């Protein structure tokens, strides 16, 4: 009797095992074939889980913040000295900026430049770090209901952080410039060379596809070129740097270490990819 029961139980277990593995294989194939629909389902699930789990996340974030605040107190004197030095430098830069602003206004008037009145933004709070070891992205608490769409640029006030790659009703995912599946068309401010900034999961993405790399020098400013009409042009990415092995990299202007709020640029004029799943590779 016991042996028969055991045999029956083993059969049930085997059946469950085959059922689960079949479901997983089918799910993976479905994800590869019909990425768009599956990603939409993923976002519907995230919409339900993450905003309702903030009571889990916020105590830990606060605890970590307290520890880092405490650590920063111990370096207060050094920081004060650094800030004084920075302030001195900034005073010089302020003067330069004021002069440049005047010059820019004059030139804009001369050229009859009209800035897009449609460009606006919406600010979102960082909800969760959705990046796995192989994917660098975050979730924001703004989504379709706030007018966010796939492909919109996300900045932190200093520079470009990434672009929206997947939108739910209440949440949206920002794919970082540093992510391995991120490629942004850029232009070097100084000489107009065009290229691509490609993420490789390090803090400094690679600057690639430059026509004449020997013309590129460390420190040159990089901005978005606006090619492909997904990201608006002239958004600051950072400066060129040269790696020890000679690879051109980008020192990003955005401060990735203190991201709490992000600004998503809403530009109705820009071309939104009709198949958002195509933006999401993994």
Partner 1 sequence: MHLKNIESSITQKLVFICLSFVLTILLMTPISILAPNQPFPDLLTCFIFAFFISNKLNVPISGVFLVSLLADFLWFRPLGLFTFFMVLGIELIRWHLQTRNSISFLLEITYFSLFFVIISLCVSIVEFIMAIPTAHYSFSINFVIFTLLTYPATSVLVRFFHTQKRSKYES
Q: How far apart are CA 29 and CA 269, in angstroms?
A: 35
Closest distance to partner 1 from the beta carbon of 49 (Å): 7
Instruction: Give the DSSP letter of residue 52.
Output: G
In the bound state with partner 1, the residue whose beta carbon lies nearer, of 54 and 239, is 54
Closest distance to partner 1 from the beta carbon of 210 (Å): 21
Closest distance to partner 1 from the beta carbon of 212 (Å): 26
In the bound state with partner 1, the residue whose beta carbon lies nearer, of 137 and 155, is 137
- The answer to whether the CB of 177 falls within 8 A of the CB of 205 is yes
Q: How far apart are CA 70 and CA 232, in angstroms?
A: 40
The Cα angle at residue 100 between residues 270 and 193, in degrees rounded to 5:
50
Alpha-carbon separation of residue 65 from 62, 72, 138, 257 (angstroms): 5, 10, 18, 12
In the bound state with partner 1, the residue whose beta carbon lies nearer, of 160 and 187, is 160
In the bound state with partner 1, the residue whose beta carbon lies nearer, of 136 and 170, is 136
In the bound state with partner 1, the residue whose beta carbon lies nearer, of 93 and 261, is 261
Closest listed residue to residue 231, CA positions, set 145, 144, 165, 138: 165
- The answer to whether the CB of 210 falls within 8 A of the CB of 216 is yes
Closest distance to partner 1 from the beta carbon of 119 (Å): 25
The residues, any chain, with a CB within 8 Å of residue 217's CB and separated by 6 or more, are 240
Closest distance to partner 1 from the beta carbon of 249 (Å): 12
In the bound state with partner 1, the residue whose beta carbon lies nearer, of 172 and 270, is 172
In the bound state with partner 1, the residue whose beta carbon lies nearer, of 129 and 243, is 129
Closest distance to partner 1 from the beta carbon of 52 (Å): 10
Closest listed residue to residue 176, CA positions, set 250, 241, 121, 275: 250
Q: Which residues bind partner 1 (CB under 8 A)?
A: 13, 16-17, 20-21, 23-28, 30-32, 38, 42, 45-46, 49-50, 53, 56-57, 60-61, 64, 126-139, 173, 176, 178, 180-181, 200-203, 256-257, 259, 281-282
In the bound state with partner 1, the residue whose beta carbon lies nearer, of 16 and 119, is 16
Closest distance to partner 1 from the beta carbon of 71 (Å): 13
- The answer to whether the CB of 150 falls within 8 A of the CB of 279 is yes
Closest distance to partner 1 from the beta carbon of 111 (Å): 39
**Is residue 244 classed as helix, strand or coil in its secondary structure?**
coil
Cα 267 to chain centroid, rounded: 17
The residues, any chain, with a CB within 8 Å of residue 72's CB and separated by 6 or more, are 79
């Amino acid at each position: 009797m016991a042996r028969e029961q055991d045999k029956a139980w083993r059969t049930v277990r085997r059946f469950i095992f085959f059922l689960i593995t079949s479901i997983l294989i089918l799910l993976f194939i479905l994800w590869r074939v019909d990425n768009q629909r599956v990603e939409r389902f993923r976002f519907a699930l995230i919409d339900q889980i993450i905003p309702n789990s903030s009571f889990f996340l916020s105590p830990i974030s606060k605890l970590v913040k307290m520890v880092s605040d405490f650590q920063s107190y111990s370096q207060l004197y050094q920081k004060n000295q650094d800030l004084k030095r920075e302030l001195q430098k900034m005073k010089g830069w302020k003067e330069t900026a004021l002069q440049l602003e005047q010059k820019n206004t004059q030139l804009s008037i001369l050229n009859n430049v009209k800035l897009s009145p449609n460009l606006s933004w919406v600010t979102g709070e960082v909800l969760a770090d959705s990046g796995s070891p192989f994917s660098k992205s975050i979730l924001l608490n703004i989504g379709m209901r706030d007018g966010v769409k796939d492909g919109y640029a996300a900045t932190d006030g200093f520079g470009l952080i990434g672009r929206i790659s997947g939108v739910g009703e209440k949440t949206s995912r920002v794919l970082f410039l540093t992510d391995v599946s991120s490629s942004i068309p850029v232009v070097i401010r100084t000489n107009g060379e065009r290229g691509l900034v490609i993420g490789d999961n390090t803090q400094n993405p690679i600057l690639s596809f430059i026509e004449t790399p020997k013309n590129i020098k460390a420190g040159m400013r990089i901005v978005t070129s606006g090619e492909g009409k997904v990201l608006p042009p002239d958004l600051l990415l950072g400066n060129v740097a040269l790696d020890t092995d000679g690879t051109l990299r980008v020192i990003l202007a955005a401060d990735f270490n203190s991201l709490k709020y992000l600004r998503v640029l809403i530009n109705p004029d820009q071309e939104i990819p009709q198949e958002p799943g195509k933006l999401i590779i993994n």
